Structure 1
Amino acid sequence: MFTRRTLRGIVGAAVLTATASLGLGLAPVAQAETIDQVKQKGELTIGMLVDFPPYGIMNTENKPDGYDADVARVLAKDLGVKLKIVPVTGPNRIPYLLTGKVDLLVASLAITAERAKQVQFSHPYSAAQIVVFGGKNLKVSGPKGLSGLRIGVARASTQDIAVTKITPKDAKIQRFDDDASAMQALLSGQVDAIGCSTTVAAGIAKRAPNRFNQKFVLLQQEMAVAMRQGEPNTLKTVNDLIDRNIQNGEFSKLYEKWLGTPLPALKHS
């Protein structure tokens, strides 16, 4: 015969057992990471800018192309999956990633502390350099060498800010409406050197072989693949692929194909 105390014990144990079972039933199941889902579906969906040449363009067949497109193709090939490129814009590229419209972004996304609050960045796969580019006979290896020279820049551009910051007081900064005007000023001798991207510098070198060269780098903005936060396996996989293709020279070959210069040395983020 059960006493009241015994019955309470039996009921209490039953309640604890039921609660524990319910807890186990409601325990969250570990969600598959993006990289697992990509391998399972056999397709990698990449968000990419298509209006940022030479990194992202639409080619004559109206298909995404450019340096970023080639990088995306290498990543998909190395993963053994098909590639789907989704065109994105500057403002919507991170929202597309965060809402699952794309698996990763290879979208000329510069690494910044502010963006790192929203997304997880891979090791850099690319960089945009702003350089001082001028006549071959000019012996300039740093800011002091610009003393007394005429330096051309596109007005209110990144290079305008960078050149203004480091140029000696006796140098003359000449501001033009755009890079094309600054380039023409250099070619015609109106200025001794210009601040420009390596893309513009490569264009000048093609038009006037052996007349000009790069003097020094003003600044470098590194770009990385972006993914959703909290996915360590996805991050490791992407980092491994990037490191491999930098070390074997594949990305440098593609960078030179599109930008006319070898891939700059990159730092891990």
Structure 2
Amino acid sequence: MKFTRRNVLGLLAAGAFSLGVAAVCAPKPASAATLDEIKSNGTIKVGMLVDFPPFGLMNTDGKPDGYDADVAKLLAKNLGVKLDLVPVTGPNRIPYLLSGQVDVLVASLGITEERAKRVTFSEPYAGISIAVFGLSDVDMSSAEKLSGHTIGVARASTQDTAITKIAPEGAKIQRFDDDASAVQALLSGQVEAIGASNTVIAQIEKAAGDRFNEKFGLSQQVQGIAVHPGTKDLLASVNSFLDKVKADGELDKIHQKWLNAPLPKFVQDAR
């Protein structure tokens, strides 16, 4: 398969954040729906991104789909209610929750200390890891072994920061404008490895087979389902649901479906 920049951009639709999306003004604050109210209404409104494949996307029928959509479907089924998927953007997803436009967020929201001041997070249901990924027949299994090799990264990205911090003398870091350019450089042989997220890695593996493999991890971030602060019964129900789908393998099936890999251990074991 000949990899052109157009092909790579299509490939990386599954690993790239959509940046520069204008924030949408939220309406006047509204009270948060309780678990009882959601069940009484018979519907749960779930906010999700539709511009962050494979976690959130619009399918060929013009409907929200992806990892987060499948998790939301299971959550609604577990609660015994209908599902109303509400597309949100990165900037407006928390305002949508706080204003009552959605009841919960299953929106690839990384659990951070700053966000936890505004919303209440469930236990993790997904996670993004950053790793060094490169030619299978080249030993780059530790930071020290990067010496003498060329590693590509998206300029000013998380992986750029991580690799710059650990790169030994003799390692060459080649910076590109975006992930698509870095991946194209790897596929064309311009670099021997790249720093990439597990979402990007999964898509490369689908296209390139065992030509490349993961060398070692750099960082991890878990994602949680967000609820409005103070909705303790709803939070408890969401956490109970996540415990169930982790234990019975349903969450792993969703991860295998969309990321072509098992649910990461750091997500499976998180509480």
The alignment's TM-score, normalised by the length of structure 1, stands at: 0.84
| CA-CA distance at 1:32 after TM superposition | 9.3
Contact 2:49 2:90 in 1 (8 A): yes
Aligned to 1:147: 147
Aligned to 1:213: 213
Q: Secondary structure at the match of 1:245?
A: helix
- Alignment partners' CA distance in 1, 2:154 and 2:74: 34
| CA-CA distance at 1:81 after TM superposition | 0.7
**Bigger mean CA deviation after superposition, 78-87 or 175-184:** 175-184
- Alignment partners' CA distance in 2, 1:256 and 1:208: 18
Contact 2:32 2:103 in 1 (8 A): no
Aligned to 2:249: 249
- Alignment partners' CA distance in 1, 2:163 and 2:150: 11
| Higher Rg of the two aligned structures | 1
Contact 1:153 1:174 in 2 (8 A): yes
Aligned to 1:268: 270
- Alignment partners' CA distance in 1, 2:95 and 2:179: 31
- Alignment partners' CA distance in 1, 2:32 and 2:144: 55
- Alignment partners' CA distance in 2, 1:223 and 1:193: 26
1:135 maps onto 2:135 in alignment: yes
Contact 2:202 2:261 in 1 (8 A): yes
| CA-CA distance at 1:74 after TM superposition | 0.5
The count of residues paired between Structure 1 and Structure 2 equals 239
Cα deviation digits, residues 148-187 of structure 1 (max 9, x gap): 2110111122211111111113210011122222112212
- Alignment partners' CA distance in 2, 1:115 and 1:70: 24
Within 5 Å, give how 1:79-228 maps onto structure 2: 79-228=79-228
**Bigger mean CA deviation after superposition, 177-186 or 38-47:** 177-186
- Alignment partners' CA distance in 2, 1:211 and 1:157: 25
Partner amino acid for 1:205? E
**Bigger mean CA deviation after superposition, 226-235 or 63-72:** 226-235
| CA-CA distance at 1:33 after TM superposition | 6.1
Partner amino acid for 2:247? Q
1:58 maps onto 2:86 in alignment: no
Cα deviation digits, residues 20-48 of structure 1 (max 9, x gap): xxxxxxxxxxx996211111111111011
Show structure 2 runs of 5+ residues with no match: 1-30
Aligned to 1:42: 42
Partner amino acid for 2:102? V
- Alignment partners' CA distance in 2, 1:104 and 1:252: 21
Contact 2:123 2:242 in 1 (8 A): yes
Contact 1:141 1:216 in 2 (8 A): yes
Q: Secondary structure at the match of 1:113?
A: coil
- Alignment partners' CA distance in 2, 1:32 and 1:158: 34
Contact 1:152 1:186 in 2 (8 A): yes
Contact 1:133 1:215 in 2 (8 A): yes
| CA-CA distance at 1:254 after TM superposition | 0.9
- Alignment partners' CA distance in 2, 1:203 and 1:115: 29
Show structure 1 runs of 5+ residues with no match: 1-30
| CA-CA distance at 1:211 after TM superposition | 1.2
- Alignment partners' CA distance in 1, 2:47 and 2:32: 20
Partner amino acid for 1:242? L
The alignment's TM-score, normalised by the length of structure 2, stands at: 0.84
Partner amino acid for 2:270? H
Cα deviation digits, residues 121-159 of structure 1 (max 9, x gap): 000000111111011122233222212211011112221
Percentage of matched positions with identical amino acids: 60
Contact 2:33 2:103 in 1 (8 A): no
